[in-house]
Structure 1
Amino acid sequence: MRRSWLFALLAIVASFALVGTVLATHLPTNHNTTDLTTLVRGTIVDTFKYNVGDTKVQTKGPVDVVVADVSFPALASAGWHNHPGPVFVIVTSGRLSVWTASCVKHEYYQGGPEGAAFFEPGPESSLLVKNESATIAAQVKATFIVPPGTTALRTGTAHLCGIAE
């Protein structure tokens, strides 16, 4: 009788091991991965102030301008994050959902009612940016204005609105 319990226990353990192996090798490992590729980075050494019509841009010291490609595979997320400076983002393909710190969701895509471009204000505000499609990747071009030598992205900011990454 002890042997039959031992064989039953071994069969259960082997079944769990087999299921775990199948899941580990056949399911995607991490949907929360975006790929940021810096295309070019340059420093503006002098301060400047530009104010014409509805457009105002000003720096108070040197800044780096970083242009990057960011890929969002299906179901990928940049997580709750912010940046050390402002960012201008253009969705070139796919759709992105963006939650603001005030828990408002926006959708950006080519031809969409909210447009294909959005603005990330910088270190004072965290955003969640996600590709909610299970089948279609999204691609963006982003222009960051950041202090010289700093990274363009800060991850791991507080989760807001009860929305998971």
Structure 2
Amino acid sequence: MGNVISRAATACALTASVLTGTAVGASATPGSGVSAKELFKFTVDGTDYIGKEITIQPGGSTGWHYHDGPLYAVIVAGTLTHYDDSCAVDGVYPKGAPVYEPPGADAVHIGKNLGPEPTALKVLYVLPTGSPPSEDAPAPVCAS
């Protein structure tokens, strides 16, 4: 019986892998040195609007992730270095800079604080109702 359950679990994992385009065994890359404080959350016509203040400590990162809806932010302290799924720096955002992250699993990215002081962002997530603010994603091949 255990063998049947094990094979069923493997089949489910393979099916999920094919449907999502991820490799079996690939794991999400958790953030480090990141804290978040929810400022507000409300829903209008099937869209969630979530405001947060995100702080990334020196040397910290968000982990590789994407969003199901667009993200709008402004840097209120420090500097955010942003990488796209090719591991290229696609933005360096100092205090006062606006940040836009497009939605979708094809827009995987990571934010890092490479500076000596905490980086803080005020963030607005615009999401389909019930979606999490971010979806963990495996690190791209270029990040290994």
Give the TM-score, by structure 2 length. 0.71
Gaps of 5+ in 2: 1-30
User: Structure 1 vs Structure 2: percent identity of aligned residues?
Assistant: 21
RMSD: 1.8
| 1:131 shift after superposition | 0.3
1:162 equivalent to 2:142? Answer: yes
Query: AA paired with 2:76?
Result: T
Which structure carries more relative contact order (alpha carbon 8 Å, separation 6+)?
2
State the distance in 1 between where 2:102 and 2:128 align: 14
1:126 equivalent to 2:111? Answer: no
Q: What per-residue deviation string (whole Å, max 9, x for no partner) do you get for residues 9-58 of structure 1?
A: xxxxxxxxxxxxxxxxxxxxxx813112110001112xxxxxxxxxxxxx
Q: What per-residue deviation string (whole Å, max 9, x for no partner) do you get for residues 99-142 of structure 1?
A: 1124331200126xxxx111111123101100012x31100011
State the distance in 2 between where 1:80 and 1:109 align: 21
State the match for 1:108 in structure 2. 93
Divergent runs of 4+, >6 A: none
State the distance in 1 between where 2:128 and 2:82 align: 24
Q: 1:71 to 1:43 in 2, by over 3 A?
A: same
Tell me the SS of whatever aligns to 1:42. Answer: strand
The one of 58, 61, 64 aligned to 1:74: 58
State the match for 1:59 in structure 2. none
State the match for 1:32 in structure 2. 32
State the match for 1:44 in structure 2. 44
Give the TM-score, by structure 1 length. 0.62
1:64 equivalent to 2:44? Answer: no
Greater share of strand residues, 1 or 2? Answer: 2
What is the number of residues matched between the two proteins?
A: 112
| 1:161 shift after superposition | 5.9
Query: AA paired with 1:147?
Result: P
